[in-house]
Amino acid sequence: MNKRFNKKLLLSAILIMLFALTGCGGALNTELTVNDDLSGKRVMTYTADCHDQDSYFKGDYASARSVIAKSCPDGLKLDDRSTDDNIELVFTLEFSDIDEYAHKVRSIIEASGKDAPETPIEYMAPSSVFATGISYKENFTSEDLMNWFQDTLVNGGYVSSGDRGNIYYKGKNYQNNICGNEDTSSRVNINTISYLALNGISYTTGFNSDGTFDREIRVDVPQASMDLKEDEIKEFLESSASGKISSDWSFENGVNVCTLTGTGLSASEMDEWMDSFYGENGDWFSVMDAEEDDDDDEEDENAIPNYFEDRTRVVENFRFDNYVSNQYNEVNFTYNAPAEGQYDGKYKTGDNDHTLYTYPGSGSDESMQLFTSYTTSVEADYVYTHSFFMDSAEITLNVKRKGITRNVKLNFGALSDERRQRLSSDLEAAMPEKGMKLKSCEANENSGVTVEIETESSDSDDSELYKSVFGVSNKLAVSRSSKAPLAASRITNVDDRFDLSRFASGNIPSVTYTIKGVGKELKFNKDSDKKKDKDEGEDKEASDTITREGKNYVRTYTDLDAGTRLENNVTGTTSNFFAILLWIVTAALIAFAAYRIFLFVKEAAANRPAKPAPAAGAAQPPYGVAMPQGSNPFAAAPQTQPAVEPVNTSSEAQPAAEPGNTASAGAAQMKPESAVRFCANCGNKLDADAKFCDSCGTPVE
């Protein structure tokens, strides 16, 4: 009996407690109305019985309402309808369109220190052949908007943190009316769109050297959809084709393809075209100089600019509300761009950020895919880097006895006058004080520009000049067997590696590379004559032809990858004609001098008279008899002369002529005048009346 009574008493106590608890706390009720013009209001009403709240509420209700009124965020209008027994606080959020509504929602949530969704409201109301109806979704609740209300009561000491949940204990009720569509969920999600199948949309955007753009939009429509509304679909898709925009239909692999093409469009013309294609006005397409918003300014302060490229920042928004084709309100969208460019940036779908990567293009062999997504809206922000297209290049290296000269002539394709002038100014400013100069930067016959650069420097300085001005990694080594100025010949080896990657992109139709001054008997190292694919790190044989034009080494490349570093190793022999001529002249002078000496000696010997027979009684060897060994007829007279008996010329000493011998007498008389005498010591010719030799001073006998 007692046990039964105790059980009944316990059950009664539990029921009383449950009844008491159910009576505690307040309620938050929401009424949301969105009109057809997207204006509307959100009314959130908090109600509570003062007696029910006594169990957890502390303090004065009037004071609490006053604090709440002061803490109410901007964007909410408070209407206090409370009485002594009941609390009724009405918070109203009014808006004229969805954008204003979303802005106020973010501000109210962030005012309480919470993170607001970047896209609080997702709204779509397609009115096209592919989709009709509305899609409305909220990514927040009334409790998110009233978080500040709970914080105020807890922080003010009116409710303990443990009783925070009792503030809305009686519940949160919703009555939503979105463009006539009823809903009672806390997070509104209404979709009344009816769909017509669409396979996908792809863009291929091209960048022209004159700053204009090309775009091809491809819309793939399955045959089933065409069977239902062919005329309406064609009319809808072709509606944006006017002026510079053309349309064309094709049938590929069972799919109907509508291709819209625009060429030579300015940024504003692109934006206007997108207004028509998306069916609403907006800021869809804009471009700017990439340097205007460079986050790496400090890091790139010392970076060497590439003068032969353009960097364009593209900011583009895509909106495909009129092309959704499934219950998820998505479109299969692909964005392509030229394959020869480089792309850095990001794109955003909903609240999700993505890094932009490049893949082989789906548009054509000349394009690459930047991104693809199933979505209705995309925001893209990227930098397109595009080097100038080079028609041809001529590189001439002239090797001298000391140092080199290099002439580089680059012929670029279509380039506007404004861009050419800017290029010329930039290159002039970049040239160093000496060693390198800009010879010309002039318009050419292809409506482009021809740039000619010349260096005159030592072998090693040439590479340093190109590195400091253009940031390329060249390498030039020249070895000469002899640098002596009078060397008749020298063997020269040239190992030249010239980088073209900073001057162009894609393929260069023709490149002519010439080395002068190496000489004849040219030899080249074929193993080094390869081009380097920098991306793949593999050696590939270059498509080229090597010829010898006179004493010049000439190599012609065809369809050369601009990422190539030209590598050439050549050896030749050079004759120094000046030195050879100088040596010939010197040898001739030496030979001439020797010949003159020979003639002089010969003439001296020829003019020497025959030596006469010595006088009778003289101790002189007869003419023609060899002189005693050691004697020298041309030697200087000795300092001490031997005593010689003087010649007796007196009449007394003369023998008398024999009588009757008149011939002998006449001969004797004629002899002093006609006989030629010579010095017995040195052989010098003596005068008829000489008493001493004029040459050596020896007395004449």
- Work out the burial of residue 561: count CB atoms within 10 Å of its CB; fewer than 13 is exposed, 13-18 middle, 19 or more buried: buried
Lowest mean pLDDT among 127-131, 308-312, 486-490, 546-550: 486-490
The predicted pLDDT at position 365 comes to: 60
Terminal alpha carbon distance of the chain: 197
Residues 366-384, mean pLDDT to the nearest whole number: 89
What mean pLDDT value characterizes the chain? 80
Question: In this predicted model, what pLDDT tens digit does every residue of 8-58 receive, in sequence order?
Answer: 555 544 444 443 444 456 889 999 999 999 999 999 999 988 776 667 788
Residues 428-437, mean pLDDT to the nearest whole number: 92
Tell me the percentage of the chain whose pLDDT exceeds 70.
78
Better-predicted residue by pLDDT, 302 or 591: 591
Residues sharing a CB contact under 8 Å with residue 400, sequence separation 6 or more, in sequence order = 517
The half-sphere exposure of 206 on its side-chain side, counting CA atoms within 13 A, is 16
Better-predicted residue by pLDDT, 662 or 579: 579
The half-sphere exposure of 306 on its side-chain side, counting CA atoms within 13 A, is 15
pLDDT of residue 158 exceeding 70: yes
Which residues are bridge partners to 246 per DSSP?
A: 261
The predicted pLDDT at position 488 comes to: 60
Lowest mean pLDDT among 224-228, 435-439, 599-603: 599-603
Q: What is the DSSP letter of 413?
A: -
Query: The tokens 């004609």 sit on which residue?
Result: 577
Question: In this predicted model, what pLDDT tens digit does every residue of 644-700 receive, in sequence order?
Answer: 444 444 444 444 444 444 444 444 444 444 467 788 888 888 887 888 888 787 887
User: Could you give the CA distance from residue 304 to residue 290 in angstroms, rounded to a whole number?
Assistant: 16
Residues 196-213, mean pLDDT to the nearest whole number: 89
User: Could you give the CA distance from residue 125 to residue 190 in angstroms, rounded to a whole number?
Assistant: 11
Q: Which range is most confident: 314-323, 379-388, 472-481, 558-567?
A: 314-323
Report helix angle 98-111 to 147-155, nearest 10: 20
Region label for 142, one of left (φ > 0), alpha (ψ between -120 and 50) or beta (otherwise) = alpha
Contact between 204 and 337 (Cβ < 8 Å): yes
pLDDT band at 543 (very low <50, low <70, confident <90, very high): low
User: Could you give the CA distance from residue 76 to residue 56 in angstroms, rounded to a whole number?
Assistant: 27
Sign of the torsion formed by the C-alpha atoms of 430, 433, 436 and 437 = positive
Q: Which range is most confident: 4-18, 107-121, 490-504?
A: 107-121
User: Could you give the CA distance from residue 342 to residue 622 in angstroms, rounded to a whole number?
Assistant: 112
Q: Structure pTM? A: 0.58
pLDDT band at 389 (very low <50, low <70, confident <90, very high): confident
The predicted pLDDT at position 671 comes to: 44
Tell me the percentage of the chain whose pLDDT exceeds 90.
38
Question: In this predicted model, what pLDDT tens digit does every residue of 246-257 receive, in sequence order?
Answer: 999 999 988 999
Kind of pairing between the strands at 507-516 and 390-399? parallel
User: Could you give the CA distance from residue 388 to residue 311 in angstroms, rounded to a whole number?
Assistant: 11
Helix (H) or strand (E) holding 273: helix 267-278
Better-predicted residue by pLDDT, 320 or 52: 320
Residues sharing a CB contact under 8 Å with residue 516, sequence separation 6 or more, in sequence order = 396, 397, 398, 399, 551, 552
